[in-house]
Structure 1
Amino acid sequence: MDCTHRHALVTGASTGMGRAIALLLADRGFHVFVGVRRLEDGQALQRLARGQLTPVLIDVTRHDQIAGAARAVGEHVGQRGLDALVNNAGIGLAWPLEIVPLDRFRMQFEVNVDGQLAVTQTFLPLIRQATGRVIMIGSIADRLTPPFVGPLAATKHALLALCEALRLELAPWNIHVVLIEPGNIRTEAGGKFERDAAAALQQFDPAGRCLYADAFRAMTSRFAARHAGGSDPDVVAAVVMHAIETPKPRARYLVGKDARLFALAARLPPLVLDPLRRRIFGLPRRRGAGASTRI
């Protein structure tokens, strides 16, 4: 067992921000355990890494896989413990809240909130051994909620609350809990969001299409365009690295070229902010009770 390295676990490491974080940590001398849902994704990461990287199967909704990963990591690190846990796994869902299927809404919370807490609970004994750090990858949506992305934004608000409570509860052991709040980041998730939104639109019932189709198309198109013009995921990785290594990390880090602008906009009063959001995302003006729309 080689315990000369510092050790970190990154969930949701197959693509995007998780992959960038895992590769940077490995490059900086960490032995990185990468949580993936398919071992071949982890093996692909191993080929890219310039340091030690070990794949572990983790679907954050499966407690058996989380427990199995904890056993594997614990056997490797021994009493040295885990220096950093980066909770990055997550999914996004775009639906109008009036018609979103509740099973899909619940799945957002199962992955983005319950899953993050389950992983954190399971690995905290190892983190405590090393006086390690817990890094949560959230979103600027915990400050500024776009239309039709209410399910995702709701989970990010919940994740913020978890971080606030955990930071206070773990402070007696000097375990820092840090929330990363990226703005638009250019990853594969942008294309998946657009494809998933198109598929969701096909599942709207006739009444839902009548009410929301045009506005939903406009929003998802503009949302995807902003995502494509976002910052590189390496920017997020660099901030995570800083949050792990600095002696006194901040509680929250805004990341990306548009994150601070969004955070400032979120402080505007609703009378100013709501019309601004409607223009940005192409939403229609208010409709009367008897107004008609096209299917």
Structure 2
Amino acid sequence: MVTGASSGIGQATAIRLANSGYHVFAGVRKEADGAALQHQAGGAVTPLILDVTDEPAIREAAKVIEDSGLPLAGLVNNAGIGLTWPVEAIPLETLRWQYEVNVFGQVAVIQAFLPALRRAKGRIINIGSIGDRLTLPFAAPLCSSKWAFASITEALRMELHPWGIHTVLIEPATIRTAAVEKLRTDAEGVLEQMTEVQRAYYAVNYRAMTAKGYAREQGGSDPDAVAKVVLRALTAAKPATRYKVGKDSGLLAFVARWLPDRTFDQIRFKLFGLPPKFGSAS
């Protein structure tokens, strides 16, 4: 079962797994997405209309797999959204929605599919982000939700150990997907929602961050790089607990772990075109 399979990493994963001999149940947003996925895959794909915030739809998807009689070899939790906002300006309902999709929705899916996973000794493969090791300016909504999801994954890894259920976290870094273009187009919409005072505070730096982020992501790895790692995590006799994947993933993980905070801050200021001098807006 692969959630968020309409495009990007989820789509690439569904195709690779189907081509590797798995029967893939693919959570998609629209029937047209499912039809396109079936056309692209060389193996068996069953599309399921699935919104991870819709609990009845999650239960129905679990029932479809149950009724299929197929053992559930793995659950790939890929569905998610990424929002960028200044913390001072983000509406709380928007922040809650980020967590509804990236955290609560993931837990709802895991809970629904765990009975089938337990019977088959299947695996849980959670698609996190290198952002669960570091935080970027204006990306607190996305990164903090990924930190939370990484913590939940770690707890599950220990809690499900007695049943022989491997729980794996995959941490993509710079991956080129349709979400990259969305980052740029969404930025102006975010600015429009801010108050005039908030725009005066943040517009220049926020635009600089999104422009730099867009440029970096355009040169990112293909989503199939993540799909290959998902397949490895599903088939390895003893999978790693975490897999870093994508351009710059190793470097980012290294500097996040070992550099002092202030030094790493200066690097992030430079990377995203933000003023490096403390109090420069005073």
- Alignment TM-score, normalising by the size of structure 1: 0.93
User: 1:188-227 to 2 correspondence within 5 Å?
Assistant: 188-227=178-217
Amino acid at match of 1:26: A
Distance 2:73 2:278 in 1: 54
CA distance in 1, matches of 2:40, 2:60: 25
Gaps of 5+ in 1: 1-8
Which residue number in structure 1 is paired with residue 43 of structure 2?
Answer: 51
Q: What is the 5 A alignment of 1:96-107?
A: 96-107=86-97
- Is 1:31 aligned to residue 23 of structure 2? yes
Residue 284 (structure 1) aligned to one of 275, 278, 281: 275
> Is 1:67 matched with 2:59?
yes
The Cα shift of 1:290 comes to: 7.4
d(CA) in 1 for partners of 2:274, 2:88:
16
Q: 1:115 is matched with which residue?
A: 105
Aligned mates of 2:20, 2:280 — CA distance in 1: 59
1:179 Cα deviation after fit = 0.3
- Alpha-carbon distance between aligned partners in 2 of 1:289 and 1:253, rounded to the nearest angstrom: 39
Alignment map for 1:1-40 (pairs within 5 Å): 9-40=1-32
What is the alpha-carbon distance in structure 1 between the residues aligned to residue 210 and residue 249 of structure 2? 19
Displacement of 1:192 in angstroms is 0.9
Report the Cα distance in structure 1 between the residues aligned to 2:188 and 2:37, rounded to whole angstroms: 30
Residues in 1 aligned to 2:278 and 2:160: alpha-carbon distance in whole angstroms: 49
* 2:115 is aligned with 1:125: yes
Compared CA separation, residues 213 and 47, structure 1 to 2 (3 A): same
Are residue 228 (structure 1) and residue 228 (structure 2) matched? no
Q: Which amino acid aligns with 1:116?
A: Q
In 2, the alpha carbon distance for the partners of 1:260 and 1:107 equals 30
In 1: Cα distance, 2:276 partner to 2:63 partner = 55
- Which of residues 248, 256, 267 in structure 1 aligns to 2:238? 248
Query: Which whole-Å CA distance do the structure 1 matches of 2:281 and 2:158 have between them?
Result: 51
Partner of 1:3: none
Alpha-carbon deviations, 1:40-88, whole Å to 9, x = none?
Answer: 1111101111000000111000001000111111100x2x520010000
* Amino acid in structure 1 at the alignment position of 2:178: E
Q: Distance in 2 between matches of 1:57 and 1:73?
A: 13
8 Å CA contact 2:175, 2:247 repeated in 1:
no
Counterpart code for 2:108: A
1:106 alignment partner, SS class: helix
CA distance in 2, matches of 1:81, 1:173: 15
1:259 aligned to which of 228, 249, 267: 249
- Helix, strand or coil at the partner of 2:174: coil
SS at match of 1:117: helix
Q: Give the Cα–Cα distance (whole angstroms) in 1 for the partners of residues 180 and 25 of structure 2.
A: 25
Partner of 1:86: 76
1:198 Cα deviation after fit: 1.9
Give the deviation of 1:287 after TM superposition: 5.9
Aligned partner of 1:139 in structure 2 is 129
Give 1:35's aligned amino acid: G
What residue in structure 2 maps to residue 275 of structure 1? 266
Unaligned runs of 5+ in 2: none
| Identity %, equivalent residues | 52
Task: Please tell me whether residue 42 in structure 1 is matched to residue 38 in structure 2.
Answer: no
- Measured after TM superposition, the shift of residue 257 of structure 1 is 2.2
CA distance in 2, matches of 1:40, 1:290: 49
The secondary structure found in structure 1 opposite 2:141 is helix
- Asked if structure 2 preserves the Cα contact closer than 8 Å seen for 1:81 and 1:128, the reply is no
TM-score of the pair, normalised by structure 2? 0.97
Counterparts of 2:105 and 2:250, CA distance in 1? 28
Q: Confirm or deny: 8 A CA contact 1:61 1:110 kept in the other structure.
A: yes
Which structure 2 residues correspond to residues 122-201 of structure 1 after superposition, within 5 A?
A: 122-201=112-191
Question: Compared with structure 1, are the counterparts of its residues 275 and 215 closer, same or farther at alpha carbon in structure 2 (3 Å cutoff)?
Answer: same
Considering only aligned residues, what root-mean-square deviation do their CA atoms show, in Å? 1.1
**Distance in 2 (alpha carbons) for counterparts of 1:288 and 1:236:** 40
1:83, 1:131 within 8 Å by CA — same for their partners in 2?
yes
